[in-house]
Structure 1
């Protein structure tokens, strides 16, 4: 039974992701080794959405390093363990909890030695800003523990670039770019661990900067971003966008560029979508949306709410139509409404 649950949940989540997003474009899957230990190292922009997009389409079954504060209660621990989630302890969890990471690092080393995959975010935080932030050395500690326990082990580091058109909006478009594998062993010097940390971090950071839009200057960030928006660049194509950023930097930044308004005009399709899903839209806008702590969580909250509320809404709608008319009419109505919703997300809403 347990062997069925994981692929079933994965299939449901993947269907939800592709229905929720206008477009999901994935490139570089051919770079992921099938039979070697792998560490996926993505930039982090959209909370849990980032994790789900990799987990459902990376052609591996990775383990996830997750904040320890979500492991509350025996039931949640069992559920998270089943889905291969491992707690990682931070200073904010209490200094006395940090010692628990030692056992977690050992578990990660054993996972890698079995030729399996790990997913963790080397920036150690998330931000909706379009740049690669300085990398934490946490992932190198796991690597070095693995090399200490298994001297012949070589881990393939796979940088992953997330490129959202607008991570806080719905529906959004996203491109995942998997980079070429980096041999961690080839950059590791057991006699000079400090240099090894710097070398590995630089290699991963450089790769990530090519796989996602990277505006390097915090001072000119807003000006560059407004310029890119004004020229309507395709943020799903990081190579072209980064070339544009380099061109702007070389030409000199005009600080007088005005902010580009992202307000949208009247959209008939949006009104149709709202009418089709009025109870869900109403609950989201009047109750849940205001509870989202920051933009980085907007996509995660909205997606989770849709995954829970939409099936309930459809079942209630089916029951109401079947009661008033017939089950056949109810089935056809739900089928048509679902097709309309998918069509509006993919082609109508903007």
Structure 2
């Protein structure tokens, strides 16, 4: 910075103000400093800055299986929001997520000196691990829902999303709605099951036994074959869009017309959903909003201390396409 100041003919403090985008710098002075920075190839030493400010300007993220649409989209939203706020992101991606793995990952990030941690904790075992966070580390959990006290949470309202999907099908005149659920240890699965069941019970409709899946198109395909063999099935709510894709394939192979004979709704609104055959009606999760809320909550904790806990719930959207129609 001293070299830049000498090159630009300004003080060290002026260079600092330019680097930190301080408004009280004349335009011609800012241009002269920026030109000197370019000529000299100056880069700020982030390690030195961290030592001086006691802030690394880095946030840690713990997640797993980022091949899945939800975790991958959540991480992308967090990273974009962090960058907008002037922070870097250090990510630890676990093969499987459990209490010991989450604690080890958080310890690793703490050793790197991150200012705070976001844990993408869709499984109940990971949520429980947050109860034993190292003291003094600001942290936020991203979950489908949360019953764990003592930690800030940002989540999408899975229950409401499932209710909207189920009610949409009931409003189309279907007597009941069958459900292909996700893995049993996922919080999203619990929320979507709860919302689906509640919507049917509130309407006084029969509640079929859900078909268990694992988020994959293969699981949806197997469930779809079972549903195609049953009498009286006219509406299906799949726990995510990938399983809905498998359901659509199985029904097509069985000669069942969608939505002519069976209507299908998914959950997520993945980019491919509008190109399914037929285009998929689905619940939309806004991961950009989730990422922004996570960073906002985490930065408030960094400023106010980790004892300040918040719970922010993001309302889901609903996209109607041509995979649903009135009951035939």
With structure 1 as the length reference, what TM-score do the two structures score? 0.26
Q: Flag the structure with more relative contact order, 1 or 2, with Cα contacts below 8 A and sequence separation at least 6.
A: 1
Asked which structure has the greater CA Rg, the reply is 2
Bigger fraction of residues in helix: 1
Bigger fraction of residues in strand: 2
With structure 2 as the length reference, what TM-score do the two structures score? 0.27
